[in-house]
Structure 1
Amino acid sequence: MIPMAKRLFIAIILLGLVVGGIVWFKYFRDGMIAQFMAGRVPPPVPVTAQTVEPVTWEPGIDAIGTAIAARGVDLAIEAAGIVRAINFEANDSVAEGAALVLIDDDSERAALSAAQASLGVALTDARRAQTLTERGVSAANTAETAEALVESARAQVAQVQTALDAKTSTAPFAGVIGIPRIEVGQYVSTGAIFATLQDLSQMRVDFTVPEQQLGALELDGPISVSTEVGDFRAEGRITGIEPQVDANSRLVSVRAEVSNPSGRLFPGQFLRVRVSLPAENGVIAVAQTAVISSLYGDSIYVVRPGEGEGALTVEQVFVQLGRRSGGLIEVTQGLAPGDQIVTSGQNRLSNGAKVVIDTSVDLSVTDGQSDG
């Protein structure tokens, strides 16, 4: 029988051999993997690229605006009374001077008839007094008094006619009328709003810009507007610039006019406004997807020739950025015309990495507009 101490010793030896074998195998495996990876060349990373070329940059000022009818009013009742007729329906196109609402005018018509009759009597008396005066039968002041009565009667007729005319509300200009707010048979007071009238052929656009951009604005400068819904777009001109800056918001109010022949733009509608500024030639602009932003700054991977025929590598170049527009961004420093830059696939790149350009994607630069 093997003594206890000897058995313990043998167990320790066997345990040491097992542990040593495991450690040796780990170092052997790691060494073989490192040797394999050291001799392995990673394949080139597929990326899309764009050749930097100067473009014509169309700077501008972007703003948010509100559409306002060039001529738009709330139509009100001029004289109180019972509504006898409403001669329009919602969204009718009405002509200037068209009768829209008729208020009961029986008393005014009766008063007009009485005033006209009084005028007729006064005219007859005046003619008689003039004849008698010419014959020397009557004093001259009698004819003068009769003539004064004629003028008084005429004034009375005009006054009653004005009151009668006020019973008919007419369109002050041609346009599109809104929803009627009164009903036939309803009693309405003077000043009651019965509809809105909007001339939609020409629209105003009110918007604001920061005070820093005030110097770029000029009267009659071109603008364009577009809506959030649909594909409506219209061109116009600046008609007014507020000659003061709002002390609270530091914004300047601007007004422009745009044509609206199709009638698709309505007062109160939200608009995106762009004030066009003179175009600039020779600006370096690249796709915004090419720019990598980090705590160290903005950078772009530039494709460089590598070792071997047709081999390509990338160099991370830090750049200075300028204005933006849509999918483009201006590069003021760091790139030169003719540089080939990576526009996608940067997440798998590092400085000096090998790349292959994927030509299946068209990344041609077509947009040169800017936000200024």
Structure 2
Amino acid sequence: MRALKIVIPLLLLSACGGEAEQPAPQPLPVETVTIDGQAIPNVIELPGRVTAVRKSEVRARVTGILEQQLLEDGSYVREGQPLFRIDPRELRASLAQTQASLQRAQATAANARAVVERYRPLVEENAISRQEFDAAVATSRAADADVAQIRAQVQAASLQLGYTTVRAPISGRAGRAQVTEGALVSATEATLLTTIEQIDQVYVVFSNSAQDVLSVRRSLADGSLVLAEGGRVPVTLTMSDGSDYPIPGTIDFLDQSVNEATGTVELRARFANPEGILLPGQFVRVRVEAGRYADGIAVPQVAVTMTETGGTVFVIDEEGMAQVRQIKLGAMFDGNWIVESGLQEGDRVITNNIQKLRAGMPVSVASSTPAPASGTAAPAAVQAN
């Protein structure tokens, strides 16, 4: 028993001594980039919709039966080209009737002028009264007025007859016909026959938040944001299948008012469309490079972890520990995220072993490089606002 009393305390002391001697965790080797201010592009990506530069609705201007369709649906038409023909017989008869009325009025006017000429010497010789001469002059003037009125009616009837041949108001691509031959079209209801759109040049309409527009203007005013030479704002498009549209465009309109319902400002860019790839109504992604920030911050994409609340990175604190830092992401360019807030110059951002890291874990820097330069980098992708 005495021996057991001596052995048990020794075993307990031995066990306690073993726990105290556990080795500290080894620092995880990592690679880092050191944040440094640099020139970065101010790239904005927004959804946009393609619209035609010019669009014309071809409507009936006279009432009648559609006699013939002269165009092929979807074909290219020239300005002034006949598209439809409306039965002209009723209007042709109306024109003939009005022309006959004009001839009768002209004959009446000619007779009235002849009476005036016969009365003129007689009134000077007092062979007739002045009152009779004045009445003849008034009758002649009334007859001339009737001629002018009916001549105008002839012109109107001739125009109406001309409207029975419906012509293209502009050159462009015609849509499908909205009526069929034999249908009754109405001038009163302005029956839609077809539409014509010019798509060799197209507009892309998109909207940006009023807050972002104000931020860009302030940055331009204080010099932190600098536009390209000549004040150009390049615009490129990404199609719905992810491919890039090969021809860049330019912004040609910026609305000067804010949409009260959405809080956005409308912008419009113009693009050449020689191959007809862009179609009216099509949705695209618009990339706008609105200058460059002279002192921006960017980090490699591999260093950023996306969460429900945004992006995070691991930085090394003064004690050599890894710490999680919440950051606000902007656009992405050339494999780098633009950081709007959350990092500052001098921070060391970890770029590898991200899955093994935990907050407060000791790390050792295997290699460190400056943040990637972007002075000549072209934007490759951007984050939607």
TM-score, normalised relative to structure 2: 0.67
CA distance in 2: counterparts of 1:216 and 1:76, whole angstroms: 46
1:231 aligned residue: 244
Which of residues 304, 321, 330 is equivalent to 2:327?
A: 321
Change (3 A) 1:367 1:346: farther
1:223-302 mapped onto 2 (5 Å cutoff): 224-226=235-237, 227-229=239-241, 230-232=243-245, 234-241=248-255, 243-247=257-261, 249=262, 251-262=263-274, 263-291=276-304, 298-300=312-314
Q: Which shows bigger deviation, 221-230 or 96-105?
A: 221-230
Give RMSD over aligned pairs. 4.3
User: Is 1:172 paired with 2:178?
Assistant: no
1:11 aligned residue: none
1:141-152 mapped onto 2 (5 Å cutoff): 141-152=138-149
Per-residue deviation, 1:43: 12
Q: Pick the structure with greater CA Rg.
A: 1
Which of residues 336, 344, 347 is equivalent to 2:355?
A: 347
Q: Which shows bigger deviation, 104-113 or 180-189?
A: 180-189
Change (3 A) 1:255 1:57: same
1:52-91 mapped onto 2 (5 Å cutoff): 54-91=37-74
Task: In structure 2, list runs of 5 or more residues that go unmatched.
Answer: 1-13, 121-132, 218-230
Would you say the 8 A contact 2:249–2:272 is kept in 1? no
Per-residue deviation, 1:290: 1.0
Would you say the 8 A contact 1:293–1:299 is kept in 2? no
1:311 aligned residue: none
Q: How many residue pairs get matched? A: 324
Per-residue deviation, 1:280: 0.9
| CA deviation profile, 1:98-135 (whole Å, cap 9, x unmatched) | 22111001121122123223323433443454345334
* SS of 2:297 mapped into structure 1: strand
Would you say the 8 A contact 1:179–1:195 is kept in 2? yes
| CA deviation profile, 1:255-274 (whole Å, cap 9, x unmatched) | 31412332322221112234
Would you say the 8 A contact 1:79–1:167 is kept in 2? yes
Would you say the 8 A contact 1:321–1:329 is kept in 2? no
Task: In structure 1, list runs of 5 or more residues that go unmatched.
Answer: 1-26, 305-313, 358-362
Per-residue deviation, 1:142: 3.9
Would you say the 8 A contact 1:60–1:275 is kept in 2? yes
- Identical positions, percent: 24
User: Is 1:211 paired with 2:210?
Assistant: yes
CA distance in 2: counterparts of 1:59 and 1:159, whole angstroms: 59
* SS of 1:277 mapped into structure 2: strand
| CA deviation profile, 1:292-344 (whole Å, cap 9, x unmatched) | 5799x944356x9xxxxxxxxx863655634422241327565647x875433
Structure 2 letter corresponding to 1:175: G
CA distance in 2: counterparts of 1:53 and 1:178, whole angstroms: 56
Per-residue deviation, 1:278: 3.0
CA distance in 2: counterparts of 1:64 and 1:123, whole angstroms: 66
Per-residue deviation, 1:217: 6.5
Structure 1 letter corresponding to 2:353: G
CA distance in 2: counterparts of 1:333 and 1:88, whole angstroms: 62
* SS of 2:116 mapped into structure 1: helix
TM-score, normalised relative to structure 1: 0.69
Would you say the 8 A contact 2:209–2:265 is kept in 1? no
* SS of 1:181 mapped into structure 2: coil
1:70-219 mapped onto 2 (5 Å cutoff): 70-136=53-119, 139-190=136-187, 191-216=190-215
Change (3 A) 1:257 1:119: farther
* SS of 1:265 mapped into structure 2: coil
